[in-house]
Chain A
């Protein structure tokens, strides 16, 4: 059976209407076909947690989950996201409490300049979603597309392992250095 009607076409003169789920929220937008998912998230939806780094697929700063798979939003045309589910770093957790990965990144010094952190968190979430008991080697492999120029990765791996313990209901592993106070002030609640 052939589908009816002409081949669906987007642009160049008219924008296309797409609907997608971003961090569990249904969103409907008008997009130009040359707009990337990264541009849509940052510019149309104001979700600036997702960073733009190389924008060529080499650094991982723009990583999001697309239908549950780790993907680089700088290399996904927004028109190809119609009907799909996107999770950004903002969608890791609702409310003021940190996701165990975020807490572990803070406690273990896994963040220095912070630019790679959103992509790292999303990639870490992706590997732990699929394998809650991932080994150091599996974590390193899963994060191998995420560049960090500050930490040397060791603290990041330790933080992901510690978060994995928490997510499995075990106590977190102790950080190498005392953790900073990250209690939430009452006025932020």
Chain B
């Protein structure tokens, strides 16, 4: 049996209690939501926090307010399985519903949370291994070692952002509220992520991701998410393509945002591709081909996840093209 390391478990009952506890227990505490990311990491001794602060007893983190017209606020511990069956979400933010429905497997989505998927630790072939495995290579830059085995000689960790919902929430223009004992701050989702495999979140240790805010979509807005992985279940994304466009009269693109997941330590924004699309039509195959080529340039896959490198680069171009063609489809 693969045992968890020993820890102290705290069960705060309100958000103020939670932030007070976080400030008290200090940096050696970890937040426990669904546990589907943290507990495997603890079993492999990638993480050995002295204290776990449980979030399931904090009702504020389960709150839901607003709707598709006013914008929707979801508590961070909203379970992923709730999103796929939520009429407001599937209607107004279909890309989010789809991304949530593609995470892991049904039992993982039944306990895994939206906030947890956003904060998902970065992943790497040399990191997501047992303690004995990692010890046998002298560990790695992310923890206990001094070499990045993906890019020996690199001074940074290249572990890869593997969240399905992160690129989607970036593309949707969503924001998150971070709460701490000293108050709350609200930031755009892209600002939550640092371009670093080790400290991949800009969230401070004393902060908890409390809520996710989805802005109301305009009627002429469309969003999509496509996921590439070896198996159709369980696997993390090797590539995620999230795109949102606003189409004007005649199907001309008036606004566009494209983010790629699985190809960097944070979701990568394809700004050149989005700019190129402005004033053009997604029904024009040459436009789609060129935008896909531009978007694929921000995908810098490294040898840190599944599939061969060269193939993954080509797959990025192919998947962006598919995503844009799906957005162009009449509805």
Residues in A lying within 8 Å of B, measured CB to CB: 2-3, 7-12, 32-36, 38-39, 52, 55-58, 60, 63, 66, 69-72, 74-77, 79-80, 123, 126, 141-142, 144-147
Contact = CB atoms under 8 A, between A and B. Distances in A.
B9 interface: yes
A144 B232 contact: yes
Interface stretch (B10-18, B267-275, B281-289, B307-315): B10-18
A141 B104 CA distance: 12
A76 B12 contact: no
Given A11-B6, A75-B40, A80-B56, A57 B16 contact: no
Nearest to B38: A75
14 contacts: A2-B16, A55-B1, A56-B43, A57-B36, A57-B39, A70-B106, A74-B39, A75-B111, A76-B35, A77-B4, A144-B105, A144-B106, A144-B232, A144-B234
B8 A33 contact: yes
Given A56-B40, A71-B107, A72-B108, A34 B12 contact: no
Interface string B101-119: 0001111101100000000
Give 4 nearest A-B pairs by CB, closest first. Answer: A145-B105, A144-B233, A33-B9, A34-B4
A63 B111 CA distance: 12
A39 B1 contact: yes
Contacts of A69: 81, 110-111
B7 A9 contact: no
Contacts of B32: 77
B5 interface: yes
B185 to A, nearest CB: 23
A10 B107 contact: no
Interface of B: 1-14, 16-17, 21, 32, 35-36, 39-40, 43-44, 52, 54, 56-57, 81, 104-108, 110-111, 232-234
A188 B133 CA distance: 48
B233 A55 contact: no
A77 B108 CA distance: 14
Contacts of A8: 10-11, 13, 57
Nearest to A16: B9
Contact of B40 (A11, A38, A57, A141): A57
Given A32-B6, A145-B107, 5 more contacts: A7-B13, A52-B2, A70-B110, A145-B106, A145-B233
A34 B105 contact: no
A146 B231 CA distance: 13
A123 B43 contact: no
Contacts of B39: 36, 57, 74-75, 77
Contact of B4 (A10, A36, A58): A36
Contacts of A12: 6-8
B77 to A, nearest CB: 12
A3 B17 CA distance: 9
A60 B234 CA distance: 10
Contacts of B1: 38-39, 52, 55
Contacts of B3: 34, 39
Contacts of A33: 7-9, 52
Contacts of A11: 6-9
A55 B2 contact: yes
Contacts of B2: 52, 55-56, 74
Contacts of A70: 106-107, 110
Contact of A145 (B13, B16, B57, B104): B104
